[in-house]
Every structure is written in C-alpha cells, then in structure tokens.
Amino acid sequence: MALSFMQQNQKRRQKVSHYLRNSSEQDIRQSLSQVRHPQTNGKIERFFRTVQDKLGLFDGNVNELMYWYNNERPHMSLNLKKIETPVQAYHRKMPQPGTTIIDEQSGEVYDVKE
C-alpha cells in the first residue's frame, strides 16, 4: 500500500529529526555550502563519482572504500608540496592543545584540549 503525501512527509521529518538529534549528541554541527558557490557542490559531486566508480573494487563494502579513500589514497589537492591522504592532512591542520578557536560565523569559542 502506498503512503499518502502526509505520511511520506511525516517519515521525512522523523528522519531529519533523528539526524539532527544524533549529530547534536555527538557535537557535530551541520555546515551548509554557500549560495552561488559551485566549487563546494563540485567537490561533493566529484566525491560521489569516486564512490560510484570505486565501490565495485571493494565488493560494495562502503566501510572498506572509505578507509581506502581517507587513509591510503593520496589527494594532491590537500598539500601541493607533499602528496598526503585526508587523514594526514587532518592531523597536520589540527590546532595544538591549548589553542583557542573562535568560529567566525557563530562567535562560538572552543578551547582545544589534548
């Protein structure tokens, strides 16, 4: 039996609510792309294309694909002087303990701990 429009809409709201609740519990803040900023959309579209192209190499195992993508596959766009993986770039860019960070958009202040 097909769901009515109202039932479909309610299911969508429940999924969004579940997403927002879980991300909030894990201190994850949603970051939206800027209006009229196609570069951001292009990056995520390229990522989706890579997933689509490579998923078969991992027998459809998304977790293995993501491990390869983040830990083994070099990304030349992260650091032009040295080829590095996203995990290496993440650790390189992390602020040192004892640093204070202020979010430019929200003004929130974060003290970096070990």
Segment 102-107 shows an average pLDDT of 84
- Predicted local confidence at residue 31, as pLDDT: 73
- Predicted local confidence at residue 61, as pLDDT: 95
- Predicted local confidence at residue 72, as pLDDT: 93
Segment 54-72 shows an average pLDDT of 95
Nearest to 27 by CA among 114, 110, 90: 110
- Upper half-sphere CA count for residue 38 (Cβ side, 13 Å): 0
**pLDDT tops 90 at residue 12:** no
Predicted confidence band of residue 71 (pLDDT cuts 50, 70, 90): very high
Segment 86-106 shows an average pLDDT of 85
- Predicted local confidence at residue 55, as pLDDT: 95
Predicted confidence band of residue 79 (pLDDT cuts 50, 70, 90): low
Segment 7-15 shows an average pLDDT of 73
* Burial class of residue 83, CB neighbours in 10 A (0-12, 13-18, 19+): exposed
